[in-house]
Amino acid sequence: MAKKNGPIEFWFDFSSPYAYLASTQIDDIAEEHGRTVLWKPFLVGAAMKVSGNIPLLNQPLKGDYVKRDAARFARLYGVDFTLPTPFPIASLAPTRAFYWLNGQNADKAKLFASLAFSAYYADGRDISQPDEAAAIAGQCGVDAGAALAAIATPEVKEMAKQATQEAIDKGVFGSPFIIADEEPFWGVDRLWMVEEWLETGGF
């Protein structure tokens, strides 16, 4: 199959530890293969209602595994990780802040997403709070007060809603979820397969 060069879609929920882990790797993987990445936060809870999934940590046995697994993944990647309290969180506020920023500048939005993930998973800040999300936006070259006001508007709320609907329409049922050349890959544990896909042009 001929190699393609379109952007990779990186779907994620800000509350997902595996999405945080993937977020520390995805741009490097894409760059190595001459690709760019579209970061696309969404509300995975809405997709889970469609798919019948239940949150990982609510499941006996599996929940214990996931806690251990996320921590070892972070060691392997060499990134800071502490399962925060509260967990999970509603990711509405950071998702809205992301799309508001994205409407102005995609790089600012991506910087916001990285900072928000670190704030939650490395520093334990509750990014579900609008003022925390707005403060992080304030580190991205926009006014924090303007961010706080923006994420309460119907227009920005609609952006987050539409992104979630787009995810469901594309069959995105978990977080993280990567789409490369219309091929879906679910989970940080598939980044090796995404690399293989990009390297070979598909299999």
Residue identified by tokens 């299999």 is: 203
Quick one: 111 or 168, whose CB is closer to its own copies? 168
Phi (first) and psi of residue 85, to 5 degrees = -125, 125
Using CB under 8 A, which of 37, 47, 101, 135 touches its own copies? 47
Task: Name which of residues 77 to 136 contact its own copies (CB under 8 A).
Answer: none
Is there a contact between 94 and 116 (Cβ–Cβ < 8 Å)?
Answer: yes
Taking CB under 8 A as the rule, does residue 189 contact its own copies?
Answer: yes
Residue 171 Cβ vs its own copies, minimum distance, rounded to whole Å? 5
Binding map of its own copies across residues 151-180, x = CB under 8 A, - = no contact = -----------------x--xxxx------
Both structure tokens of 123: 């520093």
- Supply the angle between the helices 106-121 and 130-137 in degrees, to the nearest 10: 130
Name residues whose C-beta falls within 8 Å of residue 171's C-beta, 6 or more positions apart in sequence: 184
Q: Which residues bind its own copies (CB under 8 A)?
A: 47, 50-54, 58-62, 64-65, 68-69, 72, 75-76, 168, 171-174, 183-184, 186-187, 189-190, 192-193, 196, 203
